[in-house]
Amino acid sequence: MRTKKYSSYAQIDRELEILKIERELSLQKLHFEIQDVKENLEPKNIVRGIIGSYTPIILGPYGKIIGLVIPFIKNWIFKKRGR
C-alpha cells in the first residue's frame, strides 16, 4: 500500500473521518449478517429451507403422483390403527 502525503491537518482529519465512517458501516454490515445467520439457524427456517428445496420436485411431474398416493397411504395407516 502506498503511503499518503498530506499537506495539512485538515486533510488528515478528513481521512480519519472517512475511515471512521467506513469502520462503522463495516460493523453494521457484520451485525446484520450475524442476525441473518441466527435467523437461518432457527428450526422453523431450517425446515422451511428443506421444504423449499423440494418444492420443484413436489410441484413437478411427481407432484401429481404424490398427490394421488398420499390419501391412499393415509387411509392405510388409519385402517391399521383401527384393527
| pLDDT at site 14 | 96
pLDDT at 54: 66
Q: How far apart are the first and last CA of the chain?
A: 79
- From the first residue on, what is the mean pLDDT of each consecutive set of 10 residues in the chain (83 residues)? 88 96 97 92 80 66 72 81 64
pLDDT at 55: 65
CB 49 within 8 A of CB 40: yes
Measure CA 21 to chain center: 27
pLDDT of residue 58: 62
HSE-CB for 41 with a 13 A CA cutoff: 6
Quote the pLDDT of residue 82: 65
Length of the chain: 83
